[in-house]
Chain A
Amino acid sequence: MTTNVTVFAALCICAVFYLLARGRALAFASRTAGTFQSRATFHGWWVGLVALAPVVVFIAVWAAAGQWIIETLVLQKLALADAPQTALQRQQFFVQIANILDGRAVIPPTPQVLKSAADYNDYLMLSRTAIGALSLFSCFACGLLALRRSNLNTPAQQRVERVMQIALLASSIVAVLTTFAIVLSLVFESLRFFNLVPISDLLGLQWNPQSSLSFTSQEDLGSYGIVPLLSGTLLITFVAMLVAVPIGLMSAIYLTQYAGKTFRAFAKPMLEILAGIPTVVYGFFAALIVAPAVRRAGQSFGLDVASESALAAGLVMGIMIIPFMSSLSDDALAAIPADIKDGSFALGATTAETVRQVLLPAALPGIFGAILLAVSRAIGETMIVVMAAGLAANLTFNPLESVTTVTVQIVKLLTGDQAFSSAKTLSVFALGLILFCMTLTMNAMALFIVRRYRETYE
């Protein structure tokens, strides 16, 4: 990769400038006994940073716009009749070129495509060399300039620290950018999906996406009603909450109100272990042990239980959420000032009465927030349901039957070999958008409730 070489060379040049500037500052400082603005290393850093700046700018600009420029140039060389018409065709065209250049051409390419591929390759090579030369030259030039202009009065330390502060600020924006990128990519790809399938179709009761290679024909796209997916998700989530909420809450109550020090010393790490088990392990356990056990148990009662029942997946998901629920309830209970509890004890209430009649009503908003977070977690949980829940989208509320969830469908639709930008794969982003909105609403609500609740006791 020429980019790697460029970056490496630029770093070497910067290092040299660092040493030069530092040496110069040291030499000055030893000759002149007077005050000086900054220590020698800061002079070194400053000149090094100035040398590095143009390289970063060039590479960033090229990473952002380079491909678009090359693609435009390639298309300009193409005869108008051969050029792809729609945006989708354009994308396909360049995917094909990328495949050819990578040596994994699937469909025999037409001569035009082959020629464009050669053009593309030429431009790519040229641009890499140009960018490399340009950035190395500017690196050298800027470094030299800074070195020449720096003297003992240069506020090198302030400048370097300013750069560092900007870098810190930039880092804190990464999280915001991530959210933006998530929202934008989900919305953008979903819009592409809604171009193929009207948004009102989502309300249908049938989920049966079909892969169609041509995305001009509207007939065989399949049906995209998400109601059965949502009902399946909610059913499994409901079962999970039936397990997680009582057990998590009761264990938090026991650990905070009843248990002695030794018992807590054993139980807390135990819950942490439970929380640290990867979800794929839960999924394995659900599919291998719990689902057959549920089936056998059902059969012994004369019930017909699906081998991938919602009950089995929900049970295991509930167990996964126990530690989460427990620690959040723990927080909610701990937020109540101890003197309220003492007040109840001083009136002669038993611990159970205190918990049920004073602590729980007081902690209710906190616990409600905890349940919301747990539900949001259950809705977004993927591996357990992928491994233990079914694939068929049944619209049912019977936990003994097999249902599928939003996350299962996302995984199922994306792990098969699929032409990207078919309605089937694009539907994944619509599902992702729905999942994102659901969990975001619940998290925001939970955070809001919990924050308000904390404030009442502060």
Chain B
Amino acid sequence: MSNANNPLTSASSALWRSEQMQRRIAKRQVRDRRFKRLGLTAVLAAAAFIVVLLSVVITRAIPGLSQAQVSLEVYFDPLVIGATPDTAATVAGRTAIVYANYGQLIAEAINRRFADVSDPDKQRQLRTLMSPGARAALRRKVLKNSDLIGTKQSIWLYLSDDADFYLRQRARSVEPLPMTSLTTKAATWLNRLQDENLTRRSFHWLFFQRGDSREPELAGILGAVMGSFLTLTVTIAIAFPVGLASAIYLEEFAPKNRFVDIVEVNINNLAAIPSIIFGLLGLAVLLNVFHLPRSSPLVGGITLALMTLPTIIIAARAAITAVPHSLREAAMAIGASPIQVVFHHVVPCAMPGIMSGTIIGMAQALGETAPLLMIGMVAFVVDVPGGLSEAATTLPVQIFLWADNPERAFTEKTSAAILVLMLFLFAMNGLAVYLRNRFETRW
């Protein structure tokens, strides 16, 4: 079929048909496919990492969200408590109830259960199976209902983290692993309790109701969540208005001169400054110059606001530029002042983009740890913070603190806290994407 009239063309066809050229092309295409596979491998490697990370976090978090309890018959001895149902309402009675030695009630209950153990040393070992939180639980019960005094009740009480871990190991494998700090003796006691159906696992509500604690089974994230909430409140209260205002100024009012150029370069550079430097700024200026309260959500919030400001400004500027010029001209033509044009027309149109940028900035602030370490939000805070100037910690910092703890149970608490943090972050990012897709007008 080659064209006989044109020697050049037929030579070219022959060349392309030659076996040598065909082989060369085949080889080039193999190389192309290899390159493509390399790219695919890179994407899948990133995906594999996410899968591994999530599965590690989730598999460790799930046991951390349940807690082993034991049923004990507790006798609320009026002599130990120092009050009776009749005297409970008086000040003396109430004080007695608050300061009573509930450890003794528990010890007695355990001793009754394990009547065969009489060696005091072994009895002490037995008591260490219980969580220190059990005492507080009894106190709460008596405070709530003083009629319990003088009665004998079957009550579910928390076991210690080591006992909890042992029972979980036993449930999973046929052979119990005596690998924790539990003695073999203690393990047999636990086996006995479990075989008599006196232990159970239940969802660990306490984890969401308490602040930090030295005991893993009593440590909760409410304090940290509250701290994060307060901190972010301060952050958004500062970063959103200031960020929006500077974006408006730079896009709508700024003259084109050197000063504005400097501001722009400055914002871009600020966005890339390591977060820890903002922590140093907070330490040197907010704490040492202005003497704001150390470790407080106020200082943390201001620091994070300065850090997220560039993110918000950049997002808001992009959203504002996307609003077409014709809209501004239309508003101007009916006599709106520049300020009215901006606030009545441009900003409402750009709002979805601004909001999604702000949410992404807030998500960034929520996940941030390093600058908060600089301003002392690493303190061990047991109480749930209630105000902007109280000592507090945040969720990521709590994760950092727990991750440092050697106890195995804290690893689980850490994973559970990570899970909570990531849920918050996913929700925020999801909301940002939703806002962008749902409300953003394409011009």
- Interchain CB contact under 8 A, B246 and A178: no
The A contact surface, by secondary structure, is helix
Whether A399 is near chain B, meaning CB under 8 Å from some CB there, is no
The CA of A457 and the CA of B274, in the complex, are separated in Å by 31
**Contacts A246-B42, A250-B39; A179 near B253 (Cβ below 8 A):** no
B49 contact from A168, A274, A381, Cβ within 8 A: A274
B246 CB contact (under 8 Å) in A172, A383, A444? A172
Contact A161 B339 (CB under 8 A): yes
Task: Pick from A267, A355, A383: contact of B47, CB below 8 A.
Answer: A267
Q: Is B373 an interface residue (CB 8 A)?
A: yes
Chain B residues with CB below 8 A from A287, complex form:
403
Interface window among A143-151, A211-219, A346-354: A346-354
Closest to B425 in A: A276
How distant is the Cα of A181 from the Cα of B279 in the complex, in angstroms? Answer: 12
Known: A288-B411, A323-B46, A435-B276. A181 touches B285 (CB 8 A): yes
A169 x B253 contact (CB < 8 A): yes
Residues on the A chain within 8 Å of B38, using CB: 250, 254
Which residues on the A side are within 8 Å of B132 (C-beta)? none
Any chain A CB within 8 A of the CB of B84?
Answer: no
A331-369: contact bitstring with B at CB < 8 Å (1 yes, 0 no)?
A: 000000000000000000011110110000000000000
Q: At the interface, yes or no: A411 with Cβ under 8 Å from chain B?
A: yes
Measured in the bound complex, the distance between the Cα atoms of B56 and A242 in whole Å is: 25
Give A372 Cβ to nearest chain B Cβ, in Å: 10
A-contacting residues, B43-94, CB 8 Å: 43, 45-47, 49-50, 52-53, 56-57
- Given that A185-B281, A353-B32 are contacting pairs, would A169 and B56 also be in contact in the complex, using a CB cutoff of 8 Å? no
Is B234 among interface residues, defined by CB-CB distance under 8 A?
A: no
A167 touches B245 (CB 8 A): yes
- B383-422 CB mask vs A (1 if < 8 Å, else 0) is 0000000000000110110011000000100100010011
Among residues of A, the one whose C-beta sits closest to the C-beta of B415 is: A284
A56 within 8 A of B: no
* Residues of chain B contacted by A373 (CB below 8 angstroms): 272
Contacts of A444 in B (CB 8 A): 269
Contact check: which of B269, B284, B369 meets A383 at CB < 8 Å?
A: B369
Q: Which residue of B lies closest to A269 (CB)?
A: B433
Known contacts A355-B35, A377-B272: A174-B45 contact under CB 8 Å = no
| Bound: A381/B274 CA distance, A | 7
B263: chain A residues within 8 A (beta carbon): 172-173, 175-176
Asked if A401 lies at the interface with its beta carbon under 8 angstroms from chain B, I say no
Residues of B that sit less than 8 Å from A by CB: 28-29, 31-32, 34-36, 38-43, 45-47, 49-50, 52-53, 56-57, 241-243, 245-246, 248-250, 253-254, 262-263, 265-270, 272-278, 280-281, 283-285, 288, 290-291, 306, 309-310, 313, 337-339, 363, 366-370, 373-374, 378, 396-397, 399-400, 403-404, 411, 414, 418, 421-422, 425-426, 429
Apart from A254-B36, A284-B399, 6 more pairs, CB < 8 Å: A175-B310, A179-B270, A274-B46, A383-B400, A407-B274, A447-B268
